[in-house]
Amino acid sequence: MRQLYDTTKKLSGNRRKPERPVKSKEGKAITNIEEQRNRWVEHFIELLNRPAPLNLPNIEAAPTDLPINVGSPTIEEISMAIRQIKSGKAAGPDNIPAETLKADTTSLTAMRLPTSKGGVRIGLP
């Protein structure tokens, strides 16, 4: 299917959208590319080079003990994560395609239950 898409794209030719002209400060369209670049430079210099605000907002620090569960994931969480993997994408660092992981989620979740130390335990629980 991908090859059909690529071939169709090659045969149809280059269909780039025409670039929209940049407007000057007076509202006139600038068609020269060099003048357009200069206008963009001028725009961002005006936008980004401003003095710092005088009154800084008083932002309080977040509490250090946030309610985050750092325990091992449950079987339901692992199977839900496997189901949410998108099919047809490149394999991850373990070189296992998503389709292979999704083929049998019940056996896979039992085999890949993480230990409390962050490693992976192979075998049935």
The residues, ordered by sequence, that sit 6+ positions from 102 with a Cβ below 8 Å of its Cβ are 82, 83, 85, 87
CA distance 97 to 108: 13
For residue 111, pLDDT beyond 80: no
Confidence at residue 18, expressed as pLDDT on a 0 to 100 scale: 65
Q: Mind giving me the DSSP string for 4-26?
A: HHHHHHHHH---PPPPPPEE-TT
Judged against a pLDDT cut of 90, whether residue 39 lies above it is answered with yes
Whether residue 108 has pLDDT greater than 80: no
Model pTM score: 0.38
